[in-house]
Amino acid sequence: MAEARESESGSAVESITEARCARESRCDNVGPDLKYSSMEDCAARIRDDWRGDLDARSCPAGVNRTQLDECLNEIRAEECSSPFDTLERVAACTAGQICEQ
């Protein structure tokens, strides 16, 4: 069962990574001399930031899919002018919200 939860958490991290990097690209933050040098750089850095927050230890009961979807929707809707340094700025994207209780 722990393997399934780890896989679920990893999938949540990947979904968040994809949404964040799509937003960063849309907001012209990806490219030479920008916040992220490439989409690969963006993905590696975002994935690294979130791996520990949604791992099996932090999220032992797995991921709440509804809350994850809400988080992803908020990331996609986030304005480019908003600072997005940490996912916690989006209330729906905290580990406390995304992890099953």
| pLDDT over 50 (residue 12) | yes
Domain ranges across the chain:
2-98
For 28-65, what is each residue's pLDDT tens digit? 999 999 999 999 999 999 998 887 777 777 788 888 99
Q: Output the pTM of the full model.
A: 0.82
In angstroms, how far is the first alpha carbon of the chain from the final one?
16
Q: How far is residue 5's CA from residue 26's CA, in Å, rounded to a whole number?
A: 31
What are residue 30's DSSP bridge partners? 36
How far is CA 46 from its chain centroid? 7
